[in-house]
Amino acid sequence: MTSIESILQQHIQKAFTALFQKEIEEPKLEKTKPEFEGDFTLVVFPFLRLTGKGPEQSAETIGQYLKENCEEVSDFNVIKGFLNLSIADSFWTNFAATALSRTADFAKGQIGEGKKVMVEYSSPNTNKPLHLGHVRNNLLGYSVARILEYNGYEVIKANLINDRGIHICKSMLAWEKFGNGETPESSSMKGDHLVGKYYVAFDQAYREETKQLMSTGLSEEEAKKQAPLLLEAQELLRKWEAGDEATIATWKKMNQWVYDGFDVSYKRLGVDFDKFYYESDTYLLGKDLVQEGLDKGVFYQKEDGSVWIDLSEYKLDQKLVLRSDGTSVYITQDLGTADQKFEEFGFDQSIYVVGNEQDYHFKVLFKILEKLGRPYAEGMYHLSYGMVDLPSGKMKSREGTVVDADDLMDEMFKTAKEITLELGKTEGLDEADLNSLFESVGMGALKYFLLKVDPAKRILFDPKETIDFQGNTGPFLQYTYARITSLLQNAPSVSVTAWPTSLETQERDLIKNLYAAPQVIEAAGKQYSPALIANYIYDVVKSYNRLYHDLSILKETDDNKKALRLRLSEATRETMKACFTMLGIPVVERM
């Protein structure tokens, strides 16, 4: 079906030829502002030199031509130099009768057709469980991947796991010293929480040693460097890098505990990955690039042998890429990993979902890749997001410092259960169905709350505020979905003799919202923004609920009107389902 925008643009071009004997390029149309009557607006100021008339007279002349010659334009109004066009009900009815019979297909985008994109997210450390920041990261990365898939891209979901380094060795050393052979099985703890427990134990013991050394007269800085535990952890790291068998065995065993724990959390979050990278495999990558950069004059070497790049002209200062002892830094590893990813997948775009504290790092990384002449550099993108805060005292962390993901998901389940039972929306459900409902409502609330906010913004998250069956919340959307499902299950078969030629305001508003789906999905794909999808579906649901409350559906006596409203109910449900899929929100058939 030809879009209404294309139809209007073609007729506006014809208007200029007929009225002013001038040809114009495809004119730009805007959505009419809510405070004015109309659907689309043409700003005429840029065309005044062609019309030879004032702004209002030009708009009036063009509007009259369109009303007389374009059947899709039912009326118009002029506000200074703004021509507001109202679209005829016949267009919206035809759209509902044709395109909305295949909602799931009509809304799919094509901007990514034939293109491949990698979305890298999660990137946890294997010394502790996933925490609240990881929750936003995972949900954001997964949703962006699904949105891009819906836009026609081939998507690779990647996870670079930070599984080596001094922080890992701290957990290993504490377990060796204080663990007495404790395992996830013997402790009945998830493996990531068990390893996190020993990371905290190391920190507590290290602080105590530091305090004791300071009591002997050492400065805090000296005490921290000389604490026996830290020296042992550093020695453990040297053993790991040297391939010591016993050290490697402990490292593999404890990392596997963490991976098993992560898998449980990932499944509950509803996210997955196509490719895992491990820092233990990639930390030596990039050294060849240093020599390449030196040969090309992109890098320079100081007298101590360290290698740098000067990015002062880009206001990024000077950046170390290789230490004087020949060891690499994070940026070097990331350069090598970027090459490896491209060699393996040949992507058109590569998106890094990482918090905004790394903004500078990625500006430097992308600029270096550009200066090294990497063909994929232009397609690199840092999807930067803000922190998530909790109101003080709302939740306790089992580690005492951050809120971990499992605690948060347990809290969401508990809150969903309390509020759902209070509302009495559980008739006829057995215990298994109830638990499934509480989980779906809790996770839907969590995901929608975190995804409806622009990624760049910081979020204040209160679990109880997210679980409300009214307002801009996940449960409100899920409840509407369940309501429509119930309505359609009880709907009789209705035959249409003729689709209505005029629409009620509520019907028209809903159709217009549904019509916008492809544009919103495309914009979300271009901007990597689940927030556009989340807020769009809330608008759709609001307009549907107005129709549901104001107009009869099942009790409507006119079969043609009833058929239209059932079609709109089905289209709303399918549009919601597609948007839920892109957001990773579980659908609820019954509430």
**For position 428, what pLDDT does the model report?**
77
Q: Give residues with Cβ within 8 angstroms of 434, minimum separation 6.
A: 417, 426
Query: Is residue 141 within 8 Å of 269, Cβ to Cβ?
Result: no
- Rounded to two decimals, the pTM is 0.93
Q: For residues 229 and 207, give the distance between their C-alpha atoms in angstroms, rounded to a whole number.
A: 10
HSE value, Cβ hemisphere, 13 Å, CA-based, for 490 = 9
Q: Across the strands, what pairs with 352?
A: 120, 382
* H helices present in 305-455, as ranges: 330-345, 359-371, 405-423, 431-451
Rounded (10°) angle between helices 132-150 and 405-423: 80
**For position 398, what pLDDT does the model report?**
47
* C-alpha closest to that of 383 among 358, 414, 418, 404: 358
Per-residue confidence in pLDDT tens, the chain, 591 aa: 789 999 999 999 999 999 999 999 999 999 999 999 999 999 999 999 999 999 999 999 999 999 999 999 999 999 999 999 999 999 999 999 988 887 667 668 789 999 999 999 999 999 999 998 899 999 999 999 999 999 999 999 999 999 999 999 999 999 999 999 999 999 999 999 999 999 999 999 999 999 999 999 999 999 999 999 999 999 999 999 999 999 999 999 999 999 999 999 999 999 999 999 999 999 888 888 999 999 999 999 999 999 999 999 999 999 999 999 888 889 999 999 999 999 999 999 999 999 999 999 999 999 999 999 999 999 999 999 998 887 765 544 444 557 889 989 999 999 899 888 887 767 778 899 999 999 999 999 999 999 999 999 998 887 777 877 788 999 999 999 999 999 999 999 988 899 998 999 999 999 999 999 999 999 999 999 999 999 999 999 999 999 999 999 999 999 999 999 999 999 999 999 999 999 999 999 887
Type of residue found at 97 = A
Helix, strand or coil, per DSSP, at residue 125: strand
Each residue of 257-272: b (16+ CB within 10 Å) or e? bbbebbeebbeebebe
* C-alpha closest to that of 124 among 273, 259, 253, 272: 259
* C-alpha closest to that of 590 among 428, 410, 466, 473: 428
Tokens coding 488: 């359609």
DSSP-derived secondary structure for 237-256: HHHHHHT-HHHHHHHHHHHH
Q: For residues 578 and 545, give the distance between their C-alpha atoms in angstroms, rounded to a whole number.
A: 19
Q: For residues 238 and 231, give the distance between their C-alpha atoms in angstroms, rounded to a whole number.
A: 11
HSE value, Cβ hemisphere, 13 Å, CA-based, for 29 = 22
DSSP-derived secondary structure for 146-197: HHHHHTT-EEEEEEEEB--SHHHHHHHHHHHHH-TT--HHHHT--HHHHHHH
DSSP-derived secondary structure for 327-343: -B-HHHHHHHHHHHHHH
Q: Give residues with Cβ within 8 angstroms of 293, minimum separation 6.
A: 299, 307, 309, 321, 368, 371, 372
All domains in the chain, ordered by first residue: 4-87 (3.30.1360.70), 125-292+340-387 (3.40.50.620), 405-583 (1.10.730.10)
What backbone phi and psi angles, to 5 degrees, belong to 86? Answer: -100, 135
Please identify which residue in the block is written with the tokens 């999807």.
383
Q: For residues 297 and 72, give the distance between their C-alpha atoms in angstroms, rounded to a whole number.
A: 62
For residue 13, the tally of other CB atoms under 10 A from its CB is: 16
* C-alpha closest to that of 140 among 524, 431, 400: 524
Q: Exposure of 434 by Cβ count < 10 A (0-12 exposed, 13-18 middle, 19+ buried)? A: middle
Q: Across the strands, what pairs with 385?
A: 355
